[in-house]
């Protein structure tokens, strides 16, 4: 069966510090990978998605970046955090587009970031 | 008009009640629709997909109205464990990858 791991679960960072959140998927190959953010009182916002190694699409301009160095690894980074970066970050995967269930998102447990 | 809109609630209902949520979407080309459930401080989890003909899973019934561009979720015989936020999800590009848009969610609280 497929599993998705995301870490760290919780972090508190000062403004201006760097960020690295990591996500890995097991039990599948060629997944589509996603980073979402859920800020307090707001819906889930798609930040990035990737259909393959090195392929990143950005949905919202911001001071965050994403990378996919391996097929089942997705990393969210920032060089300098802003207060507005606080939120609940969720990694998710779907099957390859065109296959059964390709629109069904499975989320990791999330990383709760507080920027002070 | 927002892409996906939901009544934020909260819906406070007694155990055993029937409750219904609606969700409207703006893109008539949307092809895929889902309901997710999110418990407090947890990740969203798929509750059910929504099919054109409507579908049922136990106490949960989902329906799609393409003409009016809304989907609905009906929960019968509410349980305490149904308390959660219910998220409406729509694929907004009629099939393109990476554009699953979430509503802000409807909060349900089932009381004894």
pLDDT digits (tens, 9 = 90+) for A34-85: 999 998 878 898 899 999 999 998 877 689 999 999 999 999 999 999 999 9
The pair phi, psi for residue B28, each rounded to 5°, is -65, -15
CA-based nearest residue in chain A for residue B102: A44
**Which range in B22-31, B44-53, B76-85 is most confidently predicted, on average pLDDT?**
B76-85
Distance CA B47, CA B87 (A): 9
Task: Give the confidence band of A104 by pLDDT, cuts at 50, 70, 90.
Answer: confident
Bridge partners of A5, per DSSP, are: A24
Tokens for B99, please give them. Answer: 């554009």
pLDDT at residue A6 in the model = 97
Instruction: Report how far apart the first and last C-alpha atoms of chain B are (Å, whole number).
Output: 37
Average pLDDT over residues A87-109: 85
Distance from CA of B30 to the nearest CA of A (A): 12
- Which residues of chain B does A59 touch, with a Cβ-Cβ cutoff of 8 Å? 98
Name all contacts of B64-70 with Cβ < 8 Å and 24+ positions apart. B64/B33, B66/B28, B68/B24, B69/B24, B69/B25, B69/B26, B69/B28, B69/B30, B70/B22, B70/B23, B70/B24, B70/B25
- Which residues of chain A does B100 touch, with a Cβ-Cβ cutoff of 8 Å? 46, 103, 105
**Do the Cβ atoms of B32 and A108 come within 8 Å?**
no
């Amino acid at each position: 069966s497929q599993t998705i791991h995301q870490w760290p679960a919780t972090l508190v960072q000062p403004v201006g510090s760097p960020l690295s959140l990591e996500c890995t998927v097991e039990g599948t190959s060629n997944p589509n990978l996603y980073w979402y953010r859920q800020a307090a009182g707001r819906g889930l916002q798609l930040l990035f998605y990737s259909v393959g190694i090195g392929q990143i699409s950005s949905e919202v301009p911001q001071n965050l970046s994403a990378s996919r160095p391996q097929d089942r690894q997705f990393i969210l980074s920032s060089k300098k955090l802003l207060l507005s970066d606080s939120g609940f970050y969720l990694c998710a995967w779907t099957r390859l587009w065109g296959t059964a269930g390709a629109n069904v998102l499975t989320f990791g447990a999330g990383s709760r970031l507080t920027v002070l | 008009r927002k892409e996906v809109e939901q009544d934020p609630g909260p819906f406070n209902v007694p155990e055993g009640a029937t409750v219904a949520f609606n969700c409207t979407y703006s893109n008539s080309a949307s092809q895929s629709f889902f309901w997710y459930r999110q418990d407090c401080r947890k990740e969203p989890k798929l509750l059910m997909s929504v099919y054109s003909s409507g579908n049922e899973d136990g106490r949960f019934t989902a329906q799609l109205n393409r003409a009016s561009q809304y989907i609905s979720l009906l929960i019968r015989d509410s349980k305490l464990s149904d308390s959660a936020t219910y998220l409406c999800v729509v694929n907004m590009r009629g099939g393109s990858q990476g554009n699953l848009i979430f509503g802000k969610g409807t909060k349900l609280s089932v009381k004894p």
